């Protein structure tokens, strides 16, 4: 790894002049990708790469899958899901993309799906699989895969009304078996999780409460970390520099990236890109997005980070169709 640039690093909550991550070339910034056609505008959806194609799944309303082929630079349309699905983190595993911890229905009385829904990209087909235990159903949860199992963390039971939880579950997509694991230190919803070196990071999110007229207010700055080897939770020594919910989260090399989001602090969606460096144990600042957005996804494909769609403001409007990328090393 090489490459040095001028950027900002966050340490113990203080910004200071230093290097960007070595993964980022000094001259690189996010760029908007000009494509042939465009996806269906949507937010609270999933954006994911699967076998060299990009998929936009779900979002408010029942919408067809939007499929981008980077070889042709063109969008095409796939089959809509059997029900409205939104507020979920997709998990690619085997021949399909798994959706659990998803909501269905209109704001603010959404409910968690009662079954796991999967999408088979090669067949452009949706399929319900296993029942979700009644006492573990929720939406806006984090979901990641490890050793063939899927781990779902936190979420919210009662749409945007309230009922945020710190639950942690293991799901076996082969057998349908569910196992309750130790609760996370903090309750949160509207966030994503990621795994790095045998540890799962829950970053961003909030405790949504329309009951108290605090839908966007109660962001969770603390980052909870679960160690699969010890079976114990800890909390990072430094909180997320820019607390926000509806963010995208992923692992990049030895860092955990937190991208975009929404909060009560500003009307426009967040464009901040921040990274926890596990080796140095400090936060770093990456170049900001061209367009702030929340309710989407993030992934790495052929040396570029990609994100797409989402909402450009706090809440549901405007729904975006643009795709951005950032070159990394």
Q: If pLDDT is split at 50, 70 and 90, which confidence band does 23 have?
A: low
What is the second-level CATH architecture of the domain 7-327? 6 Propeller (2.120)
Is pLDDT at 15 greater than 70 in this prediction?
A: no
Pairing of strands 162-171, 282-285: unpaired
Other beta carbons within 10 angstroms of residue 27's beta carbon come to 8
Other beta carbons within 10 angstroms of residue 278's beta carbon come to 18
Is pLDDT at 217 greater than 80 in this prediction?
A: yes
Rounded-to-integer distance, Cα 254 and Cα 145, Å: 18
> Which pLDDT score, from 0 to 100, does residue 213 have?
97
Give the residue ranges of DSSP H helices in 188-269: none
Rounded-to-integer distance, Cα 176 and Cα 161, Å: 29
Is cis: bond before 318, omega within 30 of 0?
yes
Percentage of residues of the chain with pLDDT beyond 90: 91
13-17, 200-204, 236-240, 319-323: least confident range: 13-17
Q: If pLDDT is split at 50, 70 and 90, which confidence band does 327 have?
A: very high
pLDDT in tens, 24-67: 554 689 999 999 999 999 999 999 999 999 999 999 999 999 99
Block residue for tokens 């085997």: 94
Closest by alpha carbon to 10, among 187, 306, 243, 249?
243
Closest by alpha carbon to 126, among 142, 108, 113?
113
Closest by alpha carbon to 53, among 70, 72, 74?
70
pLDDT in tens, 237-261: 999 999 999 999 999 999 999 999 9
Rounded-to-integer distance, Cα 274 and Cα 227, Å: 22
DSSP reduced 3-state for 300? strand
pLDDT in tens, 295-306: 999 999 999 999
Rounded-to-integer distance, Cα 317 and Cα 320, Å: 8
Cβ contact 307:293 at 8 Å: yes
Phi, psi of 181 (to 5 degrees): -115, 175
pLDDT in tens, 123-141: 999 999 999 999 999 999 9
Residue length of the chain = 329
Domain locations in the chain? Answer: 7-327
Average pLDDT for 146-154: 98
pLDDT in tens, 178-208: 999 999 999 999 999 999 999 999 999 999 9
Cβ contact 307:297 at 8 Å: yes
Global pTM value: 0.93
Other beta carbons within 10 angstroms of residue 310's beta carbon come to 32
Cross-strand partners of 178: 171
> Which pLDDT score, from 0 to 100, does residue 20 have?
52
């Amino acid at each position: 790894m090489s490459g040095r640039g001028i950027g900002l690093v966050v340490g113990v909550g203080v910004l200071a002049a230093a290097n960007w991550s070595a993964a980022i070339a000094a001259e690189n910034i996010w760029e908007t990708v000009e494509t042939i056609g465009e996806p269906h505008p949507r937010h609270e959806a999933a954006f994911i790469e699967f076998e060299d194609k990009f998929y936009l799944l779900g979002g408010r309303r029942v919408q067809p899958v939007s499929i981008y082929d980077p070889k042709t630079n063109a969008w095409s349309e796939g089959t809509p899901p059997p029900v409205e699905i939104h507020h979920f983190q997709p998990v690619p595993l085997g021949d399909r993309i798994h959706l659990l911890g998803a909501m269905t229905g209109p704001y603010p009385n959404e409910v968690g799906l009662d079954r796991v829904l999967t999408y088979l990209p090669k067949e452009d087909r949706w399929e319900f699989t296993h029942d979700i235990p009644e006492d573990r159903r929720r939406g806006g949860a984090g979901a990641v895969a490890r050793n063939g199992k899927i781990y779902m963390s936190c979420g919210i039971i009662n749409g945007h009304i309230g009922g945020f939880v710190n639950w942690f579950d293991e799901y076996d997509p082969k057998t349908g078996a569910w196992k309750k694991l130790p609760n996370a230190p903090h309750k949160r919803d509207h966030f994503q999780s990621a795994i790095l070196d045998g540890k799962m990071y829950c970053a961003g999110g909030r405790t949504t409460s329309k009951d108290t007229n605090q839908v966007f207010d109660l962001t969770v700055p603390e980052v909870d970390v679960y160690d699969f080897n010890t079976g114990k939770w800890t909390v990072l020594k430094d909180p997320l520099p820019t607390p926000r919910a509806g963010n995208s989260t992923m692992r990049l090399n030895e860092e955990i990236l937190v991208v975009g989001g929404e909060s009560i602090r500003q009307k426009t969606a967040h464009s901040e890109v921040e990274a926890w460096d596990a080796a140095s144990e400090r936060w770093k600042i990456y170049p900001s997005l061209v367009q702030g957005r929340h309710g989407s996804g993030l992934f790495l494909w052929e040396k570029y980070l990609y994100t797409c769609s989402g909402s450009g403001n706090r809440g549901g409007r405007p729904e975006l169709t643009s795709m951005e990328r950032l070159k990394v090393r």
